[in-house]
Amino acid sequence: MEKRSVLSTIRFIFFSILMLGLIFSAVAITVLNNYKPAVKTYIAGKFIGYFSSEAQFDEAYNDLVTEKQNIDSNVKVYLEEEPVFESSYIRDSLFENQNVYTNLRAEIKTEYTVYEVSVNDKVEMTFNSKDEASKYSESLKEKVSKLNVAINEKKVEELGEITSIERADAILNDIVDRNKPVTIPKPVVTYQNPNNYATTSTNQTASDAIATAAMMEGGVWPTVSRYISSPYGWRWGSMHTGTDIAGKYGDPIYAYKSGLVTFAGWNGSYGYMVKIDHGNGLSTWYAHCSSLNVTAGQEVSQGQVIAAMGSTGWSTGNHVHFETRVNGVHTNSYNFIVGK
Ligand SMILES: [Zn+2]
């Protein structure tokens, strides 16, 4: 081989290596500019997103903990499993096009401690501080001595409706009202008997007579469900003035009989309610509705859908409070629907 040819081969190899090196550097610089190191993060096998570092993950997690603590400082925030990090490189733009906060929030577990105040076995108020719960139970016992008031500590995942001071006051007054002895007026009703002897009767007899008449003449069960969750009468020392029929949210509520709507709207502890005057001293009330289909002054026919079932006002679950009033006095409404 000639000396000259060997030299040119060496020169060729040298320049080739130099060129490859330049190309490689150019590619490396481009990649490093557009790609960043990242930690691919999983919790309980679920992909959460890319963080620039584990420290950045901690920062995001602490943000969400603070977010929960702003709602209730006593909350316990935790992840069911430790996060798993995988080193990786990702395109810069990917950092912005991800929902790490949403994904992480979905994995965060919370445990709130609440204090339920129950009055005669019915939960009336829920506080997030034990002090407030005690304060209210004490003031209740002071106002109505016979009440059986208890505080129950409970752990919940979601913080439901917490009773505010104003609302607690309103509830307190309502409980006091409900537990005042109820005096049922007993008007004297005069009947004409076939022999024209005037006889007197208590209101109970009047309502029995109207109930019996309703039995003969019609009237319908006020909703689709037949489950009576609370009957009419005295319970835990207070008077329950209607028959509660529990059902599903939105179930239709039917007019017991044809009549004139005398009230349709919000009425305090009754929530959204409808009152219908059927004549002959009989009115029917339908309370705790989720929505109303009629307005005051409207004539309705028997079985017409007048409202939808709900849990508005003083209510702990979806039901209709069906109340019958005879000459304005509540009577056992069950007598009006039994057998219908
Ligand atoms: Zn009721």
CA of 73 to the centre of ligand 1 (A): 36
pLDDT less than 50: residues of the chain:
182-201
Per-residue pLDDT at 75: 87
| Distance in angstroms (rounded) separating the CA atoms of residues 47 and 199 | 83
| Distance in angstroms (rounded) separating the CA atoms of residues 35 and 55 | 19
Per-residue pLDDT at 303: 96
**Are 90 and 38 spatial neighbours (Cβ–Cβ below 8 Å)?**
yes
Give one DSSP letter per residue of 290-327, joined into a string: SEE---TT-EE-TT-EEEE-B--SS-SSSEEEEEEEET
CA of 67 to the centre of ligand 1 (A): 39
Helix, strand, coil percent values for the chain (each to nearest 5):
35, 35, 30
CA of 298 to the centre of ligand 1 (A): 25
CA of 88 to the centre of ligand 1 (A): 62
| Distance in angstroms (rounded) separating the CA atoms of residues 154 and 100 | 31
CA of 155 to the centre of ligand 1 (A): 29
Per-residue pLDDT at 180: 57
Q: Which of 95, 80, 94, 96 is nearest to 43 (CA)?
A: 80
Per-residue pLDDT at 241: 93
Domain boundaries, the chain: 35-110, 112-178, 189-337
Which residues are CB-contacts of 304 (< 8 A; sequence separation ≥ 6)? 254, 255, 294
| Distance in angstroms (rounded) separating the CA atoms of residues 1 and 233 | 121
Rounded to 10 deg, the angle between the 54-71 and 100-107 helix axes is: 60
CA of 240 to the centre of ligand 1 (A): 6
Per-residue pLDDT at 244: 94
Q: Structure pTM?
A: 0.44
CA of 333 to the centre of ligand 1 (A): 11
Torsion of CA 289, 291, 295, 301, to 10 degrees: -70
CA 200 to chain centre: 50
Which residues are CB-contacts of 24 (< 8 A; sequence separation ≥ 6)? none
CA of 241 to the centre of ligand 1 (A): 7
| Distance in angstroms (rounded) separating the CA atoms of residues 77 and 72 | 11
| Distance in angstroms (rounded) separating the CA atoms of residues 204 and 215 | 16
Q: How far apart are the first and last CA of the chain?
A: 118
Residue 256: Cβ within 10 Å count: 29
Classify domain 189-337 by CATH number.
Answer: 2.70.70.10
DSSP-assigned letter for residue 312: -
CA of 256 to the centre of ligand 1 (A): 17
**Are 252 and 224 spatial neighbours (Cβ–Cβ below 8 Å)?**
yes
Per-residue pLDDT at 179: 64
Per-residue pLDDT at 28: 82
